[in-house]
Chain A
Amino acid sequence: MSDIDYMAERYWEDVSVGDQLAGFEKNLDWTQMVLQVSGSQDWNLVHHDLDYARDSGMPGIFYNTGWTTGMLGRLLTDWAGRSGWVEKLSFQMRGMNFSGTAVRAHGVVTAKRKDGEHALVDLDIFLENDQAGVTSPGKATVRLPIKDQ
């Protein structure tokens, strides 16, 4: 079970630059590989066929963009609270997350600002694994509710 209170609100006023997101980890075992294909519906052979991945010059199966987006998206929505809205999410695939590694999603608040009526928080977000370090650095903007509005 999760210890996240999904019903709770996260208010813009309560966020500070430097706040760390709790994040989470995943071990990329064979079950996770199957869930990756099922959840993303990405049937590119490099994401589930070891022989094809090696023929493509890769050391093994690596996890796809849909999975990477999902991991970073969950990182943000776990943190954003009931009414928080992810406005922007971007990342680079600088390294690959291969089967057999352990991956951690984490992030940090880098700025707070207002754009008209919108109260925004900017974040740096990351996927990193235990063998290659940071594989997918990214940035995000989350809109949060303001107290008494």
Chain B
Amino acid sequence: MMRDVFVLAVLVLGSTGGEIAITHGMKATGEPATLRPMAVLQFLRRALGNGWFWAGVPLMAISFYSLLLLLSWEPISFVIPASALSYVVGTFGAKYILGEEISVARWAGVILVCAGVALVAAG
């Protein structure tokens, strides 16, 4: 039980931490001037030169391996609903780390999505 809680925490914090780092890196990269292939390639090159992007990748890898580990111990109908907590943790991260404004409508949407993903995955 303690083992599950610990690995679930690594899973949730790894995925949200990784995604927040990548978001920060992408905001620093700036959006591509157009969505034409050359502009997107230049954008990709700038993004791959950003340290925050590379800080995010290993965090997401850790989260992926915790998911595999958890799936080897518990049924998927427990693992995916439990990992839906990431939506709530990620929203807190967006507010307090990235400084995004979370309106009431956005909070309500996030909570509905979180509950919905839990129900869908539970079958």
Q: Tell whether A pairs with B.
A: no
Interface residues of B (CB under 8 A from A): none
